[in-house]
Amino acid sequence: MILNHRGARKTALVFGGSRGIGAAIVSRLAEDGHAVAFTFASRADAAEALSEAVRARGGEAHALCADSADPAAIRDAVRAATENLGSLDVVVVNAGVMRLGTIDAVPLDDLDLMIDVNVRGVFLSIQAALPHIPDGGRVVTIGSCVALRTGMPGASVYQFTKSAVAGMVKGLALDLAPRRITINNVQPGPTDTDINAGAVEMLSERSPLRRVADPSEVAGFVSYLARAEAGFVTGASLTIDGGFTL
């Protein structure tokens, strides 16, 4: 069990934690000894299965239904998390959506959804959680390697939203520095999740390592940033892509 400076069990809140990279982060932080709350917008069955798996290993997990496109839902999720956990030593913002389409074919609804979840939702999640993060706490956002280093046809909206998060993290690092709260942006490359279903073989062929990432590898990176020894890393966008963008 990891204890904070107050001698209590460390806690974590993961926005978007029921599947894929988010679920791996929840599992890893729980294995590291954190009591974890996490949000999900759909697939209540997956969220409950994850909670049960964490509890079966002796951990503590609380699944909270919250759509990161809804500011009120974000605030309610933070309120519920703190009611269960108290203060939040680690906050991870993983919730995100991707809708593909070239500029002539992107519906306004898709544009608004990606901006609302991938940019506004990230900012509002951190803003809502901040009063409950103690000095010396940790914030991690989950971006994408396409943000600044590469791209692909039909992903311009997704790419600019992830680029916005990379810029946001730089500014927030300065805002949070007086309280020694660090914030960093993890930018995964192709990873074996639902979003890449059917494309793993193709993506593996493009990778210098001839494979995609396992979600647990991204979670391990987040685990490092959540620990005390990462206390001098802040405002950084750190890519974990197996050389995909070299």
Q: Active-site residues: which are they?
A: 158
Residue linked to tokens 């608004």: 112
Measure CA of the first residue to CA of the last residue in the chain; give whole Å. 38
How many C-beta atoms lie closer than 10 Å to residue 152's C-beta?
A: 10
Per the CB < 8 A criterion, the answer to whether 169 and 181 are in contact is no
Q: How far is CA 185 from CA 77, 110, 147, 149, 214, in A?
A: 22, 24, 11, 14, 18
Distance separating alpha carbons of residues 206 and 183, to the nearest angstrom? 31
Residue type, 12: A
The encoded tokens of residue 54 equal 């964490």
